[in-house]
Amino acid sequence: TEEGHVITLETRLEARDVIITVRDNGPGMSEEVQRRATEPFFTTKPVGVGTGLGLSVCHNLVADLGGELTIESELGRGTAIAVRLPRVQPIARTAAAPPAAIEARRLLIIDDEELVLRALRRGLVDHDVVTVSSAEEALALFETDRAFDLVLCDMMMPGRTGAELYQQVAREHPELAERFAFLTGGVYGVTEREFLESSGRPTLSKPITGDTLTELLGGPLSRK
């Protein structure tokens, strides 16, 4: 970068593992921050900037795959985060029938993470996709435009949460609330879990696969 910051990506193979390391020359972390870096909602950023879920979600995903995420850091010298995953043998697959064509839909995606919005836009190139980065932007949009077949809404956002947005939409535009589906990082508290269960809306865990999106778009939710 212009400030002289450098990020490097390293990969290597071992007998039974694949190791991916992301390294930077930034300010580094203290020992206390390193110990807490993968805790849900822990962040060193100012209030309203970030959710403290990034490393926590990565840690859980890597663990679910039978791997390990480790952090090495030194103040003033930078940080290295390594992901170790077990190697797997390719599975022989029979040719699958091509998926049935899905009618193009109009979607709204609400998420405060630009990387998530970009990834979803790439996966939905055959559809008309509108994106906003906060609940407040979504509410302003709904004043003039509610013609969406599906609304994908992140649960955890700075300011108003996905649950709070949904509850207001359910009061003001109940027909639109029926088209909501929620995106989660897989980490949420008792209150959020109870809300998701009581709302009855579909819940998709990040990262979202193309098959998951195809199934959702081909189902009855997006045709209401």
Same domain, 149 and 67: no
User: Which is more confidently placed, 100 or 89?
Assistant: 89
- pLDDT of the residue at 221: 53
The mean pLDDT of 91-97, rounded to a whole number, is 66
Assess if residue 111 is contained within a domain. yes
Same domain, yes or no, for 36 and 124?
no
Q: Is 92 inside a domain boundary?
A: no
The CATH number of the domain holding residue 12 is: 3.30.565.10
How many angstroms separate the Cα of 54 from the Cα of each of 42, 43, 57?
10, 9, 5
Which residues are 154's β-sheet partners?
183
Whether residue 198 is contained in a domain is answered as yes
pLDDT over 70, % of the chain: 86
Instruction: Give pLDDT tens digits for 179-195.
Output: 999 988 766 678 888 89
pLDDT, greater one: 5 or 132: 132
pLDDT in the model for residue 151: 95
Mean pLDDT of 74-93: 85
Structure tokens at 207: 């990262």
Q: Are residues 173 and 202 in the same domain?
A: yes
Q: What is the pLDDT of residues 156-181, one digit of tens each?
A: 888 899 999 999 999 999 999 999 99
Six-digit token string for 123: 């996966």
